[in-house]
Amino acid sequence: MGELRRDPIVGRWVIVDTDHPIAPKDFQYEQYIQKGGVCPFCYGNESMTPPEIECFREQATAPNTPGWQVRVVANKFPALQIEGDLNRRPLGLYDMSNGVGAHEVVIESPYHAKDIPDLLPDEVENYIKMCGRRAIDLAKDKRFKYLMFFRNYGPSAGASLEHPHTQIVALPMVPKNVVEEISGAKSYFDYRERCIFCDMIRQEAQEQERIVLENKFFLSFCPFVSRFPFEVWIIPKQHSGYFCHMSNEEMRALAAILRETIAKVKNIFPNLSYNYIIHVAPINGDTDIEYYHWHIEFMPKLTQVAGFEWGTGFYIDPITPELAAKYLKS
Contacts 24+ apart (CB under 8 A), 185-192: 185/9, 185/291, 185/292, 185/293, 186/288, 186/291, 188/8, 188/9, 188/291, 189/290, 189/291
Among 22, 48, 52, 98, binds a second copy (CB under 8 A): 98
Strand, helix or coil at 220? strand
User: Per rule CB under 8 A, is residue 311 in the interface with a second copy?
Assistant: yes
* Residue 299 engages a second copy in binding (rule: CB under 8 A): yes
* Min dist. Cβ of residue 49 to a second copy (A): 18
From 327, 274, 276, select the one nearest 298 (Cα to Cα). Answer: 276
Cα 222 to Cα 323: distance, rounded to the nearest angstrom: 9
Phi, psi of 117 (to 5 degrees): -65, -20
Select 2 or 66, whichever has its Cβ closest to a second copy.
Answer: 2
Q: Which is nearer to a second copy, 96 or 113 (CB)?
A: 96
Compare residues 126 and 152 and give the one whose CB is closer to a second copy.
Answer: 152
- Give phi and psi for 195, each to the nearest 5: -75, 130
Identify the residue among 51, 84, 121, 285 touching a second copy (CB under 8 A): 84
Tell me if 208 contacts a second copy by CB under 8 A.
no
Phi/psi at 48 (nearest 5 deg)? -80, -10
Is 270 a binder of a second copy (CB under 8 A)?
A: no
CA 274/CA 228 separation, integer angstroms: 11
116 binds a second copy (CB under 8 A): no
CB of 63 to a second copy, least distance (A): 27
308: contact with a second copy by CB under 8 A? yes
Exactly one of 97, 208, 238, 271 binds a second copy (CB under 8 A); which one?
97
Contact positions with a second copy (CB under 8 A) in 224-243: 224-225
Between 64 and 98, CB nearer to a second copy? 98
Has 163 been labeled as part of a binding site? Answer: yes
**DSSP track, 175-207:** -HHHHHHHHHHHHHHHHHSS-HHHHHHHHHHHH
Cα 115 to Cα 138: distance, rounded to the nearest angstrom: 26
- 266 is a contact residue toward a second copy (CB under 8 A): no
Long-range Cβ pairs for the range 15-22 (8 Å, 24+): 15/314, 15/315, 15/316, 15/317, 16/226, 16/317, 16/320, 16/321, 17/316, 17/317, 17/318, 17/319, 17/320, 18/320, 21/318, 21/319, 21/320, 21/323, 22/229, 22/318, 22/319
Residues 176-195 that bind a second copy (CB under 8 A): 176-178, 180
33 touches a second copy by CB under 8 A: no
Does residue 103 have an active-site annotation?
A: no
Q: Which CB atom, from 265 or from 299, has the smaller least distance to a second copy?
A: 299
244 is in an annotated binding site: no
Is residue 288 part of the contact set for a second copy (CB under 8 A)? Answer: no
Among 34, 203, 208, 238, binds a second copy (CB under 8 A): 203
Q: Which of the residues 20, 103, 165, 295 is marked catalytic?
A: 165
**If residue 89 lies in a helix (H) or strand (E), which one and from where to where?**
strand 89-91
Residue 319 lies near a second copy (rule: CB under 8 A): no
Kind and range of the H or E element at 125? helix 121-138
Task: Please tell me the count of residues contacting a second copy according to CB under 8 A.
Answer: 71
* Interacting residue with a second copy among 71, 129, 151, 165 (CB under 8 A): 151
- Which of 102, 105, 157, 319 binds a second copy (CB under 8 A)? It is 157
- Residues at the binding site are 39, 42, 112, 163
Active site residues: 165
- Residues at the binding site for Zn(2+) are 39, 42, 112, 163
